[in-house]
Structure 1
Amino acid sequence: MDIKAYEEQFEGEPAVWLKAGRFEAAVLPGTGGNLIAFRDTENGYRFLREPGEDGIEAFKQSPGVYGIPVLFPPNRYADGKFPWNGQVYQLPINEEATGNHIHGFLHTAVWQVEDFGSSKNESYVTVAIKVDENHPSYEYFPHKYIVKLRYGLSEAGLSQQLLIHNDGDEVMPCLLAFHTAVNAPFAQESAASDYRVKVTIGERWELNERMLPTGNYQPLQPEEIELREEGVNPFFAPMDNHYTAVPQNGRNRMELTDMNLGVTLVYDVGTSYKQWMIWNNGAKEGFFCPEPQVNLVNAPNVDLPGDEIGLFSLKPGEYWEETARFYIKE
């Protein structure tokens, strides 16, 4: 099996490519450490939304809706205000329609390639970002920390290892999500109508007109019960919905099945992700985002127990780690 890791451009951008047999993947360190492509080259499957006819400039304008962007802190915060440890941080308001801050700082930042290479069984790359008082985001989120992302590619698919280290001397909140953009269809010969998605959701959070949780739940619609149980078409209705994550059979995951080909893409995320956000671009066929999220949207502003809403901290010197994997069932 051909296994290698190498530097080569992706649509004119510096990238690290991974190859392992029929699979290949590409990471863009210069734009958020985004894993922009994961493909099965034998079957012509492209599992993640890549910059296509829109080109790389469209990706740079909206890096949150391609590949696997890192959101830190993720999703929306009311008025950009972030109460923490007796202080209130003011994040930039970058969603004018709601008056909120959205999606944090890391998915647009420059990351560094720490290491890449291959072994007998796997090709891999590690990218990292170090935030301190010299980083532009420190002004808004005054913590020193290091985030490392390791991707490995093998016959078992694509593995992801995330590590966050509190590198400062203050307790910091650990809030994170991936705005993973999955193609439906991922096979050229199939249509979006051939696809069924299943996600380990629990309750649906009620969101107000500013897309912020009220603290209450809403009853699931029949299609959302199908989403949790046997699967439903990803575009059955416009979705910008927030759910609790409830593992099934010990796993927290999204399964996307091409009913035409009998092929399932499994996105198995760790059980540290207590929430799912599911967004399907107004039910426009082509791609949707099953987003594993550590914390409830706007969590620091919500008066609910931290363990319930995924609001937890890292003390100075502490690490937090979680893994995920994409693999194929045929």
Structure 2
Amino acid sequence: MSKYWAGPLLQEGFSIIRLTDDESNSFAELAPEIGNNLYRFTCDRYEVLMSPVSLTSLWHESNEVFKYGTPLLSPPNRVRNGRFLFKGREYKLPLNEPPDHHLHGELCSKAWKVVGYGASEEEGAWVTSQFRYADHPEIMAYFPHMLVFTMTYRLKGGRLYLEGGIENKGVEEAPFAFGLHPYFAVPFGDGEEISLRVPAAAEWPVTNQAFVIGTPEESVFSRELRQGVSIENYPLLGCSLIAMGQEGDRTCRIEMKNRNYTIAYQFDETFPYVVLFRPDWASAYSLEPYTYVTDAFNLPYNHELTGARGIRAGEQVRFTTGMWIEK
């Protein structure tokens, strides 16, 4: 009998997919109907992600889809006034953060389609979901590009991987920006000593809304991140924008020193930037890998610096991430 299992379950009237790994006492739960949100991951009995109070609240409460689990973002973070230019075309995105900005895109608030799931010793427990812009005329009205997002979550050996692909099925190059927003369950308070390590190269100066206000430089904070910096007193609603190092291991770690365990999060070179963020509504900390810096298409800097880019007709961008517990 396999130690892995994958299948649908009904929770609060929502059809979810559960992945289990009995050997490592791990399981993950995904809500395809609610933005394909990976809203729960428990590894070796440790809660890795901050889950919502309920799926009903995640779906119905204002902006809850941004606040728990692992929202999928395109474009990530804010677009000032919801407008930008790309290849001579002006894009006007809905202002979903009144009064002035577009925030995080709509992938995390729309239903995705499950296209397959399964479990075996070789492949672990997995589920593949897909989102097509062409199926959503309300998105095509302001972003007329036939992008297809395909995400496979795979639980194997106690580690949860995301294997993603974004493909341009249209005939024109499209502006491309993608990110992830996992909320890691971090026990702030109670005297817990918490250390964050990130293979940082430099820090971008940003506002408290993560808007860029200068070019990146190696800072005291970016140097400390490489060795490990205390984040118990990181400000609520504080954020930092970090340029990742291009060499070596790209694993970030949040270490709970008193409780003797570490949350590890790894992402590949598709994401040159990571936003650090501490919410004020939950005991959590976010490490958000981005393909570009916030509002990159509106910045007066070289696109190679900011990550602003297109995805050509027929092109597919692929990436992988992984999260797990170390003790």
Asked if Structure 1 and Structure 2 have the same fold, meaning a TM-score greater than 0.5 normalized by the shorter chain, the answer is yes
Distance 2:16 2:136 in 1: 25
Q: Note if 1:292 corresponds to 2:289.
A: yes
The one-character-per-residue Cα deviations of 1:198-251 (angstroms, maximum 9, x if unpaired) are 1223322223476421233477455x543332232254333222222224x612
What code does the residue aligned with 1:212 have?
F
Q: Note if 1:26 corresponds to 2:29.
A: yes
- Gaps in structure 2 of 5+ consecutive residues: none
SS in 2 for 1:57: helix
Distance 1:230 1:207 in 2: 21
Equivalent residue runs for 1:191-210 within 5 Å: 191=190, 193-208=192-207
Distance 1:192 1:276 in 2: 27
Query: Which 10-residue stretch deviates more, 202-211 or 73-82?
Result: 202-211
Distance 1:178 1:192 in 2: 29
Query: Which 10-residue stretch deviates more, 204-213 or 301-310?
Result: 204-213
What code does the residue aligned with 2:229 have?
G
Give the structure 1 partner of residue 256 of structure 2.
Answer: 258
How far is 1:275 from its partner?
Answer: 1.1
User: Aligned residues, how many?
Assistant: 319
Give the structure 2 partner of residue 183 of structure 1.
Answer: 185
The one-character-per-residue Cα deviations of 1:268-322 (angstroms, maximum 9, x if unpaired) are 011221111111014x761011100110111111122222111222211111100
Q: Percent identity?
A: 23
SS in 2 for 1:244: strand
The one-character-per-residue Cα deviations of 1:58-104 (angstroms, maximum 9, x if unpaired) are 3223111211110001111111102111011101112226x111101
Distance 1:158 1:14 in 2: 20
Distance 1:105 1:150 in 2: 19
CA contact (8 A) 1:133 1:142 kept: no
How far is 1:11 from its partner?
Answer: 4.1
What code does the residue aligned with 2:244 have?
A
> Could you say what the CA RMSD is over the residues aligned between the two structures, in angstroms?
2.2
CA contact (8 A) 1:192 1:286 kept: no
Give the structure 2 partner of residue 103 of structure 1.
Answer: 104
Distance 1:46 1:174 in 2: 32
What code does the residue aligned with 1:19 have?
T
What code does the residue aligned with 1:24 have?
F
CA contact (8 A) 1:184 1:285 kept: no
What code does the residue aligned with 1:102 have?
L
How far is 1:4 from its partner?
Answer: 0.6
Give the structure 1 partner of residue 10 of structure 2.
Answer: 9
CA contact (8 A) 1:235 1:285 kept: no
Distance 1:295 1:50 in 2: 27
Equivalent residue runs for 1:19-58 within 5 Å: 19-21=20-22, 22-40=25-43, 43-52=44-53, 55-58=54-57
Match of 1:237 among 221, 228, 235: 235
What code does the residue aligned with 2:120 have?
S
Give the structure 2 partner of residue 114 of structure 1.
Answer: 115
Give the structure 2 partner of residue 162 of structure 1.
Answer: 164
